[in-house]
Amino acid sequence: MSKKLQNKEYSISTLKGVIGAIPFAGTLVNELLFDARSRIKQERVNEFIIKFSELIDEHTEEDFSLLNLNNEQLSDILEEIIISVSKTSAEHKKEIFKKILLNQLKSSEVDTDDTLRFVNITNEINNRQFEILKSFHSLSDKVLKYKVQILELKDEARQLNARLVDLKNEYVGSKETSEKIEKRLKDIPKLIKRREMALTQNNVNPNTHSTFNISRELYITEMHDLIAKGLLFDFAIRTNLVQPFVHFGITQLGRSYMKYIIDE
C-alpha cells in the first residue's frame, strides 16, 4: 500500500473516530465537559454531534482535506465547540459552530488561534447582533461608505462655492483656478447621484433600527457592544461630518468572521 493511500485511510479513520464516535463516547464527552454531568448539557452535545454527523453525510470524502487534516488543531477546536454547545440553547450559535467545524474539515488554512477567536465571538454575540452583522456583511465596504461620501461631496461643494466668491477679489491666476473649481462643481452632483442610485438598489439599510424591528435605544446598545468587540466601527471617528451612532461600517475582523461562517 502506498504511503499516500495509508495517509488517506488514516485520515478517514481519524475523522470517523473524532466525529462519528462522540455521541456514544460518554467518557470522552464527560472529559471535554470537565465532568459536568448535567443531563441537559449532555443532551445538547449529543444532539449537536448527531446533527453534525448528518451534515457530514451530505458530503463526500472529496469535499474534505483529509490528507492535510491537522488532528491536533481539530481536537482543540472540537473541544472548545463541544464545551460551548453544552452551555447554550441558542440555535443560531449551534448552526455557526457546525459551519466552523465543517470548515475545519474542508481546509486548515485558517489557523487555530483565528478559528478559536471565531468560536469565542460566536459565544459572545446574541442572535440580534448576529443579524445586524449579517446585514452589514451583505453590503460591500464601498457601498457602506457611500452615505458618508455623499456628505463629504456636499461639504466639498460648499467650500468650493465659497472659494469662488473669494476669487472675485483675486487677479493673478484666478481665472485658471476658477475654471478648475467650476469643473469640479459640475462633477460633484453626478458623483452624488451615482452613489444615491447605488444606495437605492440595496434592499437593506443596516444603519437604522427599523430594519431589525427594534427600538432606537436597543439598536444603539447592540451597536455599542459590537463596536466594543471590534466587529463594527462608527464613521464618526473618521470624519466630523457625521454624528455619532448614525453611520457604521464593518471591521476587517467582522468581515473575516462573517465570511468564514456564511460565505461558501
Give dist(CA 262, CA 57) in Å, integer: 20
pLDDT at 136: 95
Closest Cα to residue 87, out of 127, 33, 25, 7?
33
- Residue that has been written with the C-alpha cell 469643473 in this structure: 183
- 232 pLDDT band (50/70/90 cuts)? very high
- Residue that has been written with the C-alpha cell 476669487 in this structure: 167
What pLDDT, in 10s, does the model give residues 145-180?
998 999 999 999 999 998 888 877 665 557 788 888
Give dist(CA 106, CA 65) in Å, integer: 5
Asked if the model's pLDDT at residue 70 lies above 60, the reply is yes
- 28 pLDDT band (50/70/90 cuts)? low
**Residue 40: phi, psi to the nearest 5?**
-65, -45
Stretch 203-210: mean pLDDT: 87
Tell me the domain boundaries of the chain. 3-124, 136-147+186-261
pLDDT at 188: 93
Q: Which of 52-61, 119-128, 177-186 has the highest mean pLDDT?
A: 119-128
Mean pLDDT across the chain, nearest whole number? 82
pLDDT at 21: 47
Beta bridge partners of 234: 248
What pLDDT, in 10s, does the model give residues 86-101?
989 999 999 999 999 8
